[in-house]
């Protein structure tokens, strides 16, 4: 009889919570494989969740693979920062450098963070939790992970899952907001393509300058912006092709796998199956919608004061989700007028949104981490 108990120890220890978490892990894997929602991250997260919730799993804990990964790269922020190097190495800031005024739109796309923060406070989250939830609105996975791990590590699992899920839903969530806030007539505004070639010197100096300026203003943003811009500097320098290749392929891929597994492993039943998770899911989409709306309305305002050829739709690209948000802008504009090509303008706003969300992350950390 003892032998049987020992043999079926796993089955006997299976709790309802763990069973539900296994199902949630399966659900994430389903979304990754069938719906192709951010599969590169959601598949490892789903797998991590299943592996961590199997009863008596030797993978969790200090000495288990998932525990080791978590301590090696998530608890100390190493993994999200390495991912930023890769993102920097893959990002072309050219469309932004040709249209520097797009930085304004990137900044506007971050208002929702603070709006959501207040709402989360009202719902009873403490200030650090609220700030971490607000960051979801920037739709920037690595920044969300970085910030929430510093401010509210116990919410890391739900926040990461929510942030990446919504990142993949950009093409579904944004268009209705865009159609609701921007009139048909405004959506038809054509923005002539402007060609101001940017010199190589500008492209190389840009990442250095941004790092120094942002670093001086918001020291808490140095890790994020510094790594992002390091990757970009390597890309624009044109002399370290191998490092650029490694950062944007091998390192980024390996780290994504480790990060996904480790985050999946934080989704333990007792930590994840709480009403907070549900609230984060709702607040996350609220933050996303608010950021989108803020960007759109600010672009509308810019159009109104400049009376210039500025299609307010590109305000929606002021969030971080790159390059999906810019593509969505192009698609919605073309529904109205297929001869209108906003893509490069939207890409400018979108890369600005990337920089701005990193800065916003730093600002949030500066405001709350000291507490």
Site string for other proteins, 220-259 (x = CB under 8 A): ----------------------------------------
| 333 touches other proteins by CB under 8 A | no
The distance in angstroms from the start CA to the end CA of the chain is 55
| DSSP summary character for residue 352 | H
Identified binder of other proteins from the candidate list 185, 201, 275, 307, rule CB under 8 A: 185
- Tell me the closest approach of the beta carbon of residue 204 to other proteins, in angstroms: 21
Give the one residue of 35, 101, 184, 200 binding other proteins; rule: CB under 8 A.
184
Is 339 a binding residue for other proteins by CB under 8 A? The answer is yes
Within 13 Å of residue 244, how many CA atoms lie on the same side as its CB?
16
- Comparing CA positions, the residue from 100, 83, 110, 82 lying closest to residue 356 is 110
Give the helix ranges, DSSP H, for 197-338.
200-217, 222-237, 241-245, 252-265, 269-272, 275-306, 324-336
- Is position 356 an interface residue for other proteins (rule: CB under 8 A)? no
Stretch that binds other proteins, among 103-111, 170-178, 182-190, 288-296 (CB under 8 A): 182-190
Task: Give the integer Cα–Cα distance in Å for 38 and 42.
Answer: 6
| Nearest of 212, 225, 218, 215 to residue 88 by alpha carbon | 225
The piece of 126-134, 219-227, 320-328, 355-363 that touches other proteins (CB under 8 A) is 320-328
* 323 belongs to the binding site for other proteins (CB under 8 A): yes
Between 5 and 199, name the residue whose CB sits nearer to other proteins.
199
- For the segment 195-214, give every residue that binds other proteins (CB under 8 A): 195
In the complex with other proteins, which residue's Cβ is closer, 30 or 341?
A: 341
Region near other proteins per CB under 8 A, out of 142-150, 276-284, 293-301, 322-330: 322-330
CB of 291 vs other proteins, minimal distance in Å: 21
Q: Does 353 bind other proteins (CB under 8 A)?
A: no
Q: Where do the DSSP E strands lie in the chain?
A: none
Output phi, psi for 319, to 5 deg. -85, 180
Site size toward other proteins (CB under 8 A) is 18
Min dist CB 206 to other proteins, Å, is 18
Give the one residue of 30, 77, 341, 366 binding other proteins; rule: CB under 8 A: 341
Q: What does R_g of the chain's alpha carbons equal in angstroms?
A: 21
Shorter beta-carbon distance to other proteins: residue 186 or 276 = 186
Q: Does residue 330 bind other proteins (CB under 8 A)?
A: yes
Question: Cα separation of 354 and 18, whole Å?
Answer: 37
Regarding 326 and contact with other proteins (CB under 8 A), the answer is yes
User: Measured from the CB of residue 138, what is the shortest distance to other proteins in angstroms?
Assistant: 20
Residue count of the chain, please give it.
Answer: 371
| CA–CA distances in Å: residue 249 to residues 185, 234, 337 | 43, 14, 37
Report in angstroms how near the CB of residue 192 gets to other proteins at its nearest: 10
Name all contacts of 282-286 with Cβ < 8 Å and 24+ positions apart: 283/116, 283/119, 283/120, 283/123, 283/133, 283/136, 284/133, 284/136, 284/137, 284/159, 284/162, 284/163, 284/166, 285/166, 285/173, 286/112, 286/116, 286/119, 286/137
Instruction: Please tell me whether residue 327 binds other proteins under the rule CB under 8 A.
Output: yes
Given candidates 8, 118, 193, 301, which one binds other proteins under the rule CB under 8 A? 193
The angle at the Cα of 357, spanning 237 to 74, to the nearest 5 degrees, equals 85
**Residue 23, helix vs strand vs coil:** helix
**Is 182 strand, coil or helix?**
coil
Site for other proteins in 83-112 (CB under 8 A): 92, 95
Query: Quick count: other Cβ atoms within 10 Å of Cβ 353?
Result: 35
Segment contacting other proteins by CB under 8 A, of 8-16, 37-45, 124-132, 179-187: 179-187
Determine, following the binding rule CB under 8 A, whether residue 307 of this chain makes contact with other proteins: no
The site for other proteins (CB under 8 A) is made up of 92, 95, 183-185, 193, 195, 323, 326-327, 330, 334, 338-339, 341, 343-344, 347
């Amino acid at each position: 009889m003892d032998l049987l108990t020992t043999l079926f120890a796993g089955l006997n220890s299976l709790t309802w919570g763990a069973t539900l978490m296994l199902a949630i892990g399966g659900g994430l894997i389903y979304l990754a494989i069938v719906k192709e929602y951010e599969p590169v991250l959601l598949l490892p997260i789903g797998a991590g969740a299943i592996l961590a919730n199997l009863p008596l799993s030797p993978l969790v804990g200090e000495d288990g693979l998932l525990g080791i990964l978590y301590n090696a790269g998530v608890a100390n922020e190493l993994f999200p920062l390495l991912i930023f190097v890769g993102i920097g190495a893959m990002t072309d800031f050219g469309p932004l450098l040709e249209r520097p005024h797009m930085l304004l739109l990137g900044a506007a796309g971050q208002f929702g963070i603070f709006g959501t923060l207040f709402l989360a406070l009202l719902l009873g989250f403490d200030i650090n939790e609220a700030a971490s939830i607000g960051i979801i609105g920037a739709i920037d996975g690595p920044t969300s992970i970085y910030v929430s791990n510093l401010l509210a590590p116990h919410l890391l699992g739900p926040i990461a899952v929510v942030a990446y899920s919504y990142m993949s839903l950009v093409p579904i969530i944004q268009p209705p907001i865009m159609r609701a806030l921007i009139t048909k007539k405004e959506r038809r505004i054509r923005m002539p393509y402007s060609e101001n070639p940017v010199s190589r010197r500008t492209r190389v100096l840009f990442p250095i300058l941004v790092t120094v300026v942002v670093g001086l203003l918001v020291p808490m943003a140095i890790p994020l912006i510094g790594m992002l811009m390091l990757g970009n500097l390597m890309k624009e320098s044109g002399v370290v092709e191998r490092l650029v290749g490694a950062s944007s392929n091998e390192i980024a891929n390996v780290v994504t796998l480790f990060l996904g597994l480790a985050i999946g492993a934080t989704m333990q039943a007792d930590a994840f199956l709480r009403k907070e998770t549900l609230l984060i899911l709702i607040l996350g989409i609220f933050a996303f919608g608010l950021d989108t709306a803020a960007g759109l309305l600010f672009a509308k305002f810019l159009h109104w004061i400049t009376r210039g050829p500025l299609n307010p739709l590109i305000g929606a690209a002021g969030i971080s989700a790159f390059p999906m948000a810019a593509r969505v802008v192009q698609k919605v504009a073309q529904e109205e007028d297929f001869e209108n090509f906003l893509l490069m303008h939207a890409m400018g706003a979108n890369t600005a949104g990337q920089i701005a969300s990193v800065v916003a992350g730093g600002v949030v950390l500066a405001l709350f981490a000291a507490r």
